[in-house]
Amino acid sequence: MSQMVTQGLLKQEQIDFYRQNGFVQVNDVLTSEELAELREYMDEVMGADQGMSLQTDQHGGAYYRVLNQRVNTWRDHAGMARYTTHSRFAEMARLLTGASGIRLFHDHALLKMPGDSKPTPWHQDSTYWPMNEDGALSIWIALDDVDENNGCMMFVPESRRAGKLNPISLSDPQDLFQYAEGTGHDQSQSVICRMKAGSATFHDGLTFHFAHANVTDKPRRALAIIFMPDGTTYSGKSHAVTNGQPLEKDQPIRGGLFPLLARGV
């Protein structure tokens, strides 16, 4: 691992913290100019009514009350693409995981809307992903200051050691902690990550996480980007991002829609 790169992007303590706990908070991953630019791009892409990205639900729907989500904004907007594919974030993911290379799985704009907002229930992301191996992770970049009033994130340290439990429906949730009974990981251990806009958390796909409902009068904007270690193979599980793509079961997920964004030296 290159010490120079590590020093520039992440402290060794942050890498150690992620490897122990399965999440880490990294402040100020965007400059104030970048934050302003990314907010503008995200507002543009969320306001567009067509494109190649996927809008998960419409206003009034049960999922929309949890998240107003658009998947793969980078395919519609060159400005979003610049951030989603930025080597800075992928390189951080590479340093955290120790992977030899990092590919993009997908980005998603995650807005928690004001008015009848619901929390994002406790869940593990990797239960939804069509990947055979563990190790994929998300960066979640706050575009607004976040706390428990508008949907900041919470994590259970070391919970990825519980392994992959059952998927949770985000709009009609089961109780993840019932599935986790006997694993030694429970809600009382959770850690809250209040952050300034322009800061981020990284979390492993197996880490238990949650976000509060938004009880303010403004949307809570976040850009999440899912990265996977190069070589991660396709499980064949149905997923909106991989269905219809020319991927072979048990072969590496690769190609222009899943670009290699960071590579070790």
Residues that bind ligand SIN (CB under 6 A): 67, 110, 112, 120, 125, 138, 140, 151, 209, 211, 222, 224
Residues 170, 138: contact at Cβ < 8 Å?
no
Smallest gap from residue 97 Cβ to ligand SIN (A): 17
Give the one entry of ligand SIN, Ni ion, none that residue 151 binds, where binding means its C-beta sits below a cut-off of 5 to 8 angstroms depending on kind.
Answer: ligand SIN
Region of residue 231 (phi > 0: left; psi between -120 and 50: alpha; otherwise: beta): left
Residues 176, 180, 181, 184, CA torsion sign: negative
The number of CA neighbours under 13 Å toward the Cβ of 52 is: 13
Smallest gap from residue 246 Cβ to ligand SIN (A): 28
Closest residue to ligand SIN using C-beta atoms:
211
Residue closer to ligand SIN (CB basis): 140 or 258: 140
Give the one entry of ligand SIN, Ni ion, none that residue 227 binds, where binding means its C-beta sits below a cut-off of 5 to 8 angstroms depending on kind.
Answer: none
Smallest gap from residue 161 Cβ to ligand SIN (A): 19
Region of residue 199 (phi > 0: left; psi between -120 and 50: alpha; otherwise: beta): beta
Give the one entry of Ni ion, ligand SIN, none that residue 64 binds, where binding means its C-beta sits below a cut-off of 5 to 8 angstroms depending on kind.
Answer: none
Residues 149, 212: contact at Cβ < 8 Å?
yes
Residue closer to Ni ion (CB basis): 74 or 122: 122
Residue closer to ligand SIN (CB basis): 125 or 204: 125
d(Cα 241, Cα 226) in Å, to the nearest integer?
12
**DSSP state letters, 43-102:** HHHHH-S-SSSEE---TTSHHHHH-EEEE-GGGT-HHHHHHHT-HHHHHHHHHHHT-SEE
| 204 lies in the site for Ni ion, by CB under 5 A | no
Smallest gap from residue 153 Cβ to ligand SIN (A): 7
Give the one entry of ligand SIN, Ni ion, none that residue 206 binds, where binding means its C-beta sits below a cut-off of 5 to 8 angstroms depending on kind.
Answer: none
Q: Which two tokens stand for residue 59?
A: 């206003």
The number of CA neighbours under 13 Å toward the Cβ of 226 is: 24
Applying CB under 5 A, the span of 122-130, 151-159, 172-180, 228-236 interacting with Ni ion comes to 122-130
Site for Ni ion in 92-121 (CB under 5 A): none
Residue closer to Ni ion (CB basis): 205 or 229: 205
Count of CB atoms situated within 10 Å of the CB of 150: 23
Query: How many residues form the binding site for Ni ion (CB under 5 A)?
Result: 1
Residue closer to Ni ion (CB basis): 125 or 134: 125
Helices 12-21, 87-97: axis angle to 10 degrees equals 60
DSSP state of 188: G
Smallest gap from residue 106 Cβ to Ni ion (A): 13
Q: Which of 107, 125, 144, 230 binds Ni ion (CB under 5 A)?
A: 125
Q: Which residues contribute to the site for Ni ion (CB under 5 A)?
A: 125
